[in-house]
A and B are shown apart, each in its own frame.
Chain A
Amino acid sequence: MALIDVRHVTKVFGSRPERALARLKAGASKEEILAESNHTVGLYDISLSVEPGEIFVVMGLSGSGKSTLIRHLNRLIDPTEGEIFIDGMDILKLSIRELEAFRRNKTGMVFQRFGLFPHRTVLQNVAYGLEIRGEPRAAREEKAAEWVATVGLTGYEDQYPEQLSGGMQQRVGLARALCTDPEILLMDEAFSALDPLIRGQMQDQLIELQSRLRKTIVFITHDLDEALRLGDRIAILKDGTLSQIGTPAEILLDPADDYVRAFVKDVNRARVLTVETVMKPPPLRLTDETLEQALAEMQRRGAEIGYVLNARGYRGVVTRDAVNAAIASHSGPTVDEIAVGAPSIAPGASLAEALPATLSSTFPVAVIDAAGSLEGILSATEVGEVLMPARQLEAAE
């Protein structure tokens, strides 16, 4: 079951949102409603669900409602209409006290402008969530010190936020959010205020932390590269409505509308897409067959080449011609001995990493996973098709 389930959430900002909502349902546009009644439609009919342990990225330009959306998940903002379930619990029904307990125990949040307490030291900032929970000082400072160390700020415990650089401040923000060990981590443009180099480092750190912690992370960004890099799934938000939800590959290869298409146009696909998203199933897998068995199998399947994989690992490629020739010259009993050694690539590799191998090989390159099994094959033609956006292909024709 989804951990976070948002159903038909609409948010209208203004003094009389109900009336604007009725107008919106009658088909009025956001602009009309703003002009008529000075009400702003922040979100309109948003439904999405987030699975436990995934990084769910909400991506949109400024004004698209993404910061409004993330604030609904811990009710810093209440929706005008709709339902929000977290772990099966309708959080809109919580009383103030229950809501405070929910925020203390279930969620942690990281902010774009860090939101650190300037009058508290790094350690006191990180320990804040535990202090709010009422944990004794010694216990909370011990836990906080561990998190300060985890984000690499050992030695800065007694500094004040303004004494730290932006990147270090956001590490404090991250440690503060993680210190209460929340199930859900809400990250509102957490890395947007940092310069590109530091941003890359923070993304690496988040990926590394996530591989150990398996939190459910909702990550807001306006940066598509960041979304593609971090997201297990990405939701694209435009003017308060969802344009598309999908994996990075789905978003890139199958954009739902022109807006998403325009967005993904300039993405460096070779760096974002992985081999497994574009590979083809292997035509023929051979192990320790005799040459005759192999030939029969190739003829039956209509395959010109076979990939030889046996107890000793990936052995290489055999062509039908080579098998024929080997049978004619009575050279050996099994295909293993005539297999031509060929490069292999990992399914998680980016296309950019896979490209040299596919270009240098006469045959499609085998995709071998960490366990040593043949997952698929990748040829330079497929890579080329994927890397060349459809529109440019049309133009070229």
Chain B
Amino acid sequence: MFVDIGKPIADATNTFIEWLIVNYGDVFESIANALLTVLVLIEQALRWAPPWSVLIVVGLIAYAASRNLLLSFGIVALAWLLGSLGLWEQAMQTIAVMLVSVAIAIIIGIPLGVLTARSDIARALLNPVLDLMQTIPSFVYLIPAAMLFGLGKVPAILATVIYATPPLIRLTDLGIRQVDHSVVEASRAFGATRWQMLKGVQIPLALPSIMQGINQTMMMALAMVVIASMIGARGIGETVLLGLQRNDPGKGLVGGIGIVILAIIFDRISQAFGRRLQAYRTVGG
């Protein structure tokens, strides 16, 4: 009754991956090396800097985003708690992976979101791909990714980007589509080029929604840190993984608390920034 298509798919995939490795191995390696260079730079800077200076920078960023002293102090206190939990080094490693992943997600996600907002065809084509990216278990692409890029941080970043980019694409798309039609029309009537319209009207007015997308991307990137640690990306995820592997629930909990604290820090800063963007960006109050 059934036709066996599972085996041919599996075989074809394996052949394809092998072919990629044989023919384009160096390409993937150079991509991996480039990514790694940036990542290591950020990570070393974060780990080299004395913790008090990192705390000050976090506080300044929080204040710049929120203009709220109380919130900024709260965030600094949370960051201090990370060190006190004995997770400072790991937290810096995780932050480095996150920053690189979120940066790549932004570079890919915003242009794709703009594209899908412009073209219904692009949206129809991309939507199932985004669904797939969010639902397919990450191990499925972690295996070939590890084969192509080697174990460690690079496949971890790749997995994080795949999992965390879709909400940014969707919210960019939504934000641009929701910009008041009459405002876009006014811009056209004044002879704005598509780029001028995008840069001067659509993106600025979609920014609150885009910012929400970046916030979602950050949260989803944090959700990936444990899985990332399984393929050798060091950081707080590793602490949780060790707790799991060594039957040490206490260590697992401490790692878990660390991830939650990181999540709160990133969430509150990006939310506060998003809220400040809301001012004067809605039509008709």
Residues of A within 8 A of B (CB): 74, 76, 99-105, 107-109, 111, 113-119, 128-129, 131-133, 160-162, 176, 180, 186
Contact = CB atoms under 8 A, between A and B. Distances in A.
Listed from nearest, the 6 A-B pairs whose CB atoms lie closest are: A104-B191, A103-B191, A115-B186, A109-B189, A115-B182, A160-B280
A176 B189 CA distance: 11
A118 B186 contact: no
A130 B255 CA distance: 56
Contacts of B191: 99-105, 129, 132-133
Nearest to A103: B191
A107 B186 CA distance: 12
B185 A115 contact: yes
A160 B204 CA distance: 15
Given A118-B205, A119-B204, A119-B205, A100 B193 contact: yes
A107 B190 CA distance: 8
Contacts of A111: 182, 185-186
B57 to A, nearest CB: 29
B185 A162 contact: no
Given A115-B182, A118-B205, A162 B189 contact: no
Contact of A118 (B189, B190, B193, B281): B281
A103 B185 contact: no
B284 A162 contact: yes
Nearest to A99: B191
Interface string B266-285: 00000000000000111111
Contact of B285 (A102, A129, A131, A162): A162
A117 B191 CA distance: 15
A104 B190 contact: yes
Interface residues of B, number: 23
Contacts of B32: none
Interface of B: 180, 182-183, 185-193, 196, 200-201, 204-205, 280-285
B208 to A, nearest CB: 10
Q: Which of B186, B193, B204, B280 has the most CB of A within 10 A?
A: B186
Most chain B C-beta atoms within 10 Å of own C-beta, residue among A128, A161, A186? A128
Given A111-B182, A113-B182, A119 B189 contact: no
B188 A76 contact: yes
A129 B205 contact: no
A132 B205 contact: no
B188 A103 contact: yes
Contacts of A101: 191
Contacts of A103: 188-191
B183 A116 contact: yes
Contacts of B185: 76, 111, 115
24 contacts: A74-B189, A100-B192, A101-B191, A102-B191, A103-B189, A103-B190, A104-B190, A104-B191, A108-B190, A109-B189, A111-B185, A111-B186, A115-B183, A115-B186, A116-B186, A118-B280, A118-B281, A118-B283, A119-B204, A119-B281, A128-B190, A131-B200, A162-B282, A162-B284
Nearest to A113: B182
A109 B191 CA distance: 11
A161 B185 CA distance: 17
Contact of B192 (A74, A116, A132, A161): A132
Contacts of B196: 132
Contacts of A100: 191-193
Nearest to A159: B280
A109 B190 contact: yes
Contact of A117 (B188, B193, B201, B285): B201
Contacts of A133: 191
A99 B182 CA distance: 19
A213 B283 CA distance: 31
Contacts of A128: 187, 190, 200
Given A160-B280, A162-B285, A117 B192 contact: no
B182 A118 contact: no
Contacts of A104: 190-191
Contacts of B192: 100, 132
A20 to B, nearest CB: 22
A117 B183 contact: yes
Contacts of A76: 185, 188-189
Contacts of B193: 100
Given A103-B188, A119-B205, 19 more contacts: A99-B191, A100-B191, A102-B191, A109-B190, A111-B185, A115-B183, A115-B186, A117-B186, A117-B201, A118-B183, A118-B205, A118-B280, A119-B280, A128-B200, A131-B200, A132-B191, A161-B280, A162-B280, A180-B190
A160 B284 CA distance: 11
Most buried by B among A102, A118, A176: A118
Contacts of A186: 189
Contact of A107 (B182, B189, B280, B282): B189
A76 B196 CA distance: 17
Contacts of A114: 182
B183 to A, nearest CB: 6
A113 to B, nearest CB: 5
B210 to A, nearest CB: 13
A97 B241 CA distance: 58
A103 B187 CA distance: 10
Contacts of B205: 118-119
A176 B187 CA distance: 11
Contacts of A108: 190
Nearest to B188: A76
A59 B130 CA distance: 49
Contacts of A162: 280, 282-285
